[in-house]
Amino acid sequence: MPRQYIYTSSLPIELKDEIEEYASRHKISKNKVIEKALKNLLSEEKKKLYAASFKKANNDPGMISMADWGLDDYLQQLKKLEE
């Protein structure tokens, strides 16, 4: 069983009601609803950060040069394997 952290938090009544309705409709615990929502939120945030870093690297001449060098090296290795 994964380690767990017990916490206490307060939520607006409307959000609590939505969580309860969702949990009931999907036959899962309220805790699982919150866990799933947080995992999705954090996953989306990571995706946004990755996308931003790739956009930044796309404009970085040093990164472009390293990528080109890496592709050239990879092609040379493939040619050696074909021999």
User: pLDDT for 31-67, tens place per residue?
Assistant: 999 999 999 999 999 998 888 877 776 777 776 676 6
Structure tokens at 20: 């309860």
**The pLDDT of residue 64:** 67
- What gap in Å lies between CA 77 and CA 71, rounded to an integer? 10
Q: 0.85 cut: is pTM over it?
A: no
Q: Describe the crossing of helices 30-58 and 61-82 by its angle, rounded to 10 degrees.
A: 90
Please give the share of the chain, as a percent, with pLDDT higher than 70. 92
- Given a cut of 70, whether residue 21 has pLDDT beyond it is yes
Which position has the token pair 């009544």?
13
- What gap in Å lies between CA 41 and CA 81, rounded to an integer? 44
